A and B are shown apart, each in its own frame.
Chain A
Amino acid sequence: MSAVEGTRKDAGFSPMAALKAPLMVALLLIVLLLALGEYLSPGFASAQQILRLLIVAALMGIVAAGQNLVILGGREGIDLSVGGVVSLAAIIAGNLMSGQDSGILLAVLGCLAAGALIGLINGIGVTLLRIPPLVMTLGMLGVLQGLLVVIRNGIPSGRAAPGLSGFVTQPLFLGLPGIIWLWIAIGLLMAFLLRRTILGYRIYAIGSNEQAAFMAGMPVKTTRILLFVLSGMFAAIAGICLLGYTGSSFANVGEQYMLPSIIAVVFGGTPLSGGKGGYTGTMAGAILLTVLQGILTTVNIDESGRQMVFGATLLLLMLFYGRGQALRT
């Protein structure tokens, strides 16, 4: 972590600072929102409903894992192509398995390869050609949307295998469906990766000061390419799970994750400038976003009102997180 954070911690435990930590804010807000939801519509915070919300949150959280890595890597790191990758993976998986359990392995491998390839192209464009990530991934999104049209015209939309649907929606172990366990595993993996591996240290180093990292002999470009590859692969995993959740893929199903995955990262305490933050907060951010959306769909208001409240609430919540420094002389 950065030196600044270290010194702040050395100053001793302050309840105010702990309360302002993004993870705590997110958790507190999640509890408050669940209570509000229960008040507005009894049964909202029942175990079954919470489980359903967690499944939806897991989908967004898995996309946000890759997004988180790219953003941590700094230099305006962002991946707008994840929405396209999710849609693409959902349709590839649906076709490779076409409702058969025997096709799941092939589908997973195929999707991971596709996601990795797209991430690789993004990474090469961003590092070797030095195209700004926003531009590169925006262009890639356009390509993927075109690719989806082509695929959709050639082949049927495909169906999820029963095994996959069961994995996402049915209890697997201790009453929790497989996707929740998968998400927990990804959370642990990310925490391990970021805090206990050389790659993790490199990501923070590159994200906070690329020049210094380069001078220290770190493979800056390779690392950054790897981050984009991982982002593509995480988005692909989310796409497969999304197929399991919805049963069959439909047009641009993944677009709903593009910008919200970035918001989940920001709500989790990783600023878009990169170099600090982590995935635990992002997981809370994804749950927070999902619970908020859940409440808005439960409350009986028009779509217009729902969107206005959602937009205004997002802005309000952002006031808690990573506001920029005031300019000083």
Chain B
Amino acid sequence: MSDIAIAPPKTAGHGLKRAIERFPFLPALLILVVLLVLNGLYQPRSVSLVGITGLVKTYLALMLLAVAQTYVVYAGDIDLSAGAIVSLVNVSIITAMDALGGGTSAVLLGLGLGLLVGLACGIVNGIVVAALRLQAIVATFATSIFFTGLALYVLPVAGTPAPTAFWRTYGGRILDIPFVMYAAVLLAVLLLVLARTQLTTRLLAVGDDQQAAYQSGLPVTRIRITGYALAGLFAALAAFCITGDTASGDPLVGGKMTLNSVAAVVLGGTALAGGFGTVTGSVIGALIIGLIGSLVFFVGTPSEWQNLVQGVAILVALMVGILVSRGARR
């Protein structure tokens, strides 16, 4: 019958559909590969080890913040304070390390404090959004103003330098391999472990259908708070990378990153409505944003046009990603 004739393309479509359902980041991965090739064509050195290391070094912070954002988006929420948490952690650890003398123990204590600050901010967000039931967009915008105020209180003006031990380690090499590569591998392992925990499944369940999750006995409020807390921790990690990269404290350093983290999550194929997505996609999304930036530079766009071209390219990538994944899922 005619069914048989059209069977091969049908199964092909089915295979793609199933693949994207299992790996929602496939369209993003395709865009990433295309961008890598284009980058390589225009600037061969950009795809060398040095070039990739530089890319990772600059965009590790955005990758981590995109991961932070993903855990919140999983549950159908959003965190517009992510960038403000980065700023607050950045100035907190810089000030603490400075006050403790800047030695190795000071750095470690500072990092511990940074994690606590990030966690606390995340829990505040979670309580405000999940327990007090305020609307996530406006509530986390309000907390972002509060966190920025705190950051300005801790360090009113940008400038205090990070301890040498800290940024030398971040920018340096261990056994001839760049430190950021270890960090990236560590991140990959951490994400793999987290993806297999019950928490991820629960966050996705809440995001898919809050009412159903509640009726099947899941502690919805606690799960959403945990999502925000996890986001706070990853925002703190993002702040560590920013601090390693810029080697100084700046109370407004993270502000611009919030919207990019949301864009990275969407680029990665995660649904903003919640219930569907991967952190891998968000990491790829952050890299796409970075690669678009460097490609725009490498093709020789005049400097004043770079932001526009980059903006248009990101908008197009967002649209293509959404259209492709929806087309495949249908």
Chain A residues within CB distance 8 Å of chain B: 76, 78, 80, 125, 129-132, 134-136, 138-147, 149-150, 152-154, 259, 262-263, 266, 271-272, 302-312, 314-315, 318-319, 322-327, 329
Within B148-167, which residues are at the interface with A (CB < 8 Å)?
148-153, 156
Contact of A315 among B143, B215, B220, B322 (CB under 8 A): B143
B314 A305 Cβ-Cβ under 8 A: no
Chain A contacts for B146, CB-based, 8 A: 307-308, 310-312, 315
With A146-B309, A308-B146 as contacts: A315 and B273 at CB distance below 8 Å: no
Chain B contacts for A322, CB-based, 8 A: 135
Does residue B26 face the partner (Cβ distance < 8 Å to A)? Answer: no
Within B132-154, which residues are at the interface with A (CB < 8 Å)?
132-135, 137-139, 141-153
Chain A contacts for B134, CB-based, 8 A: 315, 318-319, 323-324
Chain B residues within CB distance 8 Å of chain A: 78, 80, 128, 132-135, 137-139, 141-153, 156, 210-211, 214-215, 220-221, 259, 262-263, 266, 272-273, 304-312, 314-315, 318-319, 322-323, 326
Chain B contacts for A266, CB-based, 8 A: 135, 138
B319 A302 Cβ-Cβ under 8 A: no
B308 A146 Cβ-Cβ under 8 A: yes
> Within the assembled complex, what's the spacing in Å between the Cα atoms of A199 and B320?
32
A142 B135 Cβ-Cβ under 8 A: no
Contact of A139 among B132, B147, B148, B318 (CB under 8 A): B318
Contact of B137 among A150, A272, A306, A310 (CB under 8 A): A272
A311 B307 Cβ-Cβ under 8 A: no
A-B CB contacts (within 8 Å), total count: 161
Chain A contact residues: over half helix, strand or loop, or mixed?
A: helix
B308 A149 Cβ-Cβ under 8 A: yes
With A146-B310, A307-B152 as contacts: A134 and B272 at CB distance below 8 Å: yes
A-B contact pairs, 21 of them (CB 8 A): A129-B319, A131-B322, A132-B272, A132-B273, A132-B322, A142-B315, A143-B311, A146-B305, A152-B304, A262-B141, A263-B141, A272-B137, A302-B156, A306-B149, A311-B145, A311-B149, A315-B146, A318-B135, A318-B139, A319-B134, A323-B134
A326 B153 Cβ-Cβ under 8 A: no
Chain A contacts for B215, CB-based, 8 A: 329
- A135-B272, A146-B308, A304-B151 provided; 14 other pairs, C-beta below 8 A? A138-B259, A142-B310, A147-B311, A153-B304, A259-B80, A259-B141, A262-B137, A311-B142, A311-B148, A311-B149, A318-B135, A326-B133, A327-B211, A327-B220
B220 A135 Cβ-Cβ under 8 A: no
> Within the assembled complex, what's the spacing in Å between the Cα atoms of A221 and B214?
34
Nearest-Cβ distance from residue A261 to partner chain B, whole angstroms = 11
Nearest-Cβ distance from residue B2 to partner chain A, whole angstroms = 31
Nearest-Cβ distance from residue A311 to partner chain B, whole angstroms = 3
Contact of B315 among A134, A139, A149, A150 (CB under 8 A): A139
B150 A308 Cβ-Cβ under 8 A: yes
Nearest-Cβ distance from residue B202 to partner chain A, whole angstroms = 15
Nearest-Cβ distance from residue B231 to partner chain A, whole angstroms = 17
Chain A contacts for B262, CB-based, 8 A: 134-135, 138
A140 B315 Cβ-Cβ under 8 A: yes
B135 A272 Cβ-Cβ under 8 A: yes
Chain A contacts for B142, CB-based, 8 A: 263, 311-312, 314-315, 318
Chain A contacts for B211, CB-based, 8 A: 327
> Within the assembled complex, what's the spacing in Å between the Cα atoms of A149 and B296?
15
Chain A contacts for B144, CB-based, 8 A: 311
A318 B138 Cβ-Cβ under 8 A: yes
A315 B128 Cβ-Cβ under 8 A: yes
Nearest-Cβ distance from residue A75 to partner chain B, whole angstroms = 10
Chain B contacts for A259, CB-based, 8 A: 80, 138, 141
Chain B contacts for A262, CB-based, 8 A: 137-138, 141
A305 B273 Cβ-Cβ under 8 A: no
> Within the assembled complex, what's the spacing in Å between the Cα atoms of A154 and B322?
34
Nearest-Cβ distance from residue B324 to partner chain A, whole angstroms = 12
A143 B149 Cβ-Cβ under 8 A: no
